Chains A and B, each alone.
Chain A
């Protein structure tokens, strides 16, 4: 079973920041938080991951709370092309078969013009 909880859907105005929350209260010390997204009719796409420090890349920022029980993915300037289902997943970064990703239901982000 997925170890994360996300709201089923969110709306965001184009050009504004999209903040997608994720709860992972049972996360283990060796587990990272990964974010993927799936644009309609495509395979999932990796966005970002982190352990306990905040992370930023060209796509997004990831804010992880100090107790690591929740996190927020931030798309700083959402565009219509960011409309997708966003999945928050926790798993160990290394570890053979534990590299498998267990998907929850995700959040459908709808960016509105």
Chain B
């Protein structure tokens, strides 16, 4: 199974600032996804990170607020821009490996608190 490293694991940020979260995988993967988990809630898909092209965002999420990069098959970043306390959540990276094994694997998440 893919091993996923997310950085930072947690952060406390001032409102109005931006935070970039990194997701590094130890193998080439076909698909990479970013999720948000608000306190006490289930996971909500933010976007699919496409290698070499613009990310595909889900309804309710926009590129200006959550710009995503995916420069290669093993790395992606999610930026939370112009943060407000409502952005306080856990942000998780998920990957689906290349090949027949299509189970998704998740990083441990980035716990963000906006004050």
Residues of A within 8 A of B (CB): 34, 36, 38, 42-46, 49, 85, 87, 93-94, 96-97, 99-106
Chain A residues within an 8 Å CB radius of B43: 38, 44, 101, 103
Contacts known (A46-B104, A93-B102); A99 close to B42, Cβ less than 8 A: no
What CA separation (Å) do A43 and B103 show in the bound complex?
Answer: 14
Interface pair A102/B104, CB less than 8 Å apart? no
Taking residues whose C-beta sits less than 8 angstroms from the other chain, chain B's interface range is 20 to 34
Tell me if B's interface is mostly helix, strand, loop or mixed: strand
Residues of B within 8 A of A (CB): 1, 4, 30-31, 33, 35, 42-45, 48, 56, 92, 94, 96, 102-109
Interface pair A103/B44, CB less than 8 Å apart? yes
How far apart are B59's CB and chain A's nearest CB, in angstroms? 10
How far apart are B95's CB and chain A's nearest CB, in angstroms? 10
Contacts known (A97-B48, A100-B45); A44 close to B106, Cβ less than 8 A: yes
What CA separation (Å) do A106 and B30 show in the bound complex?
Answer: 27
Interface pair A87/B42, CB less than 8 Å apart? yes
Chain A residues within an 8 Å CB radius of B106: 43-45
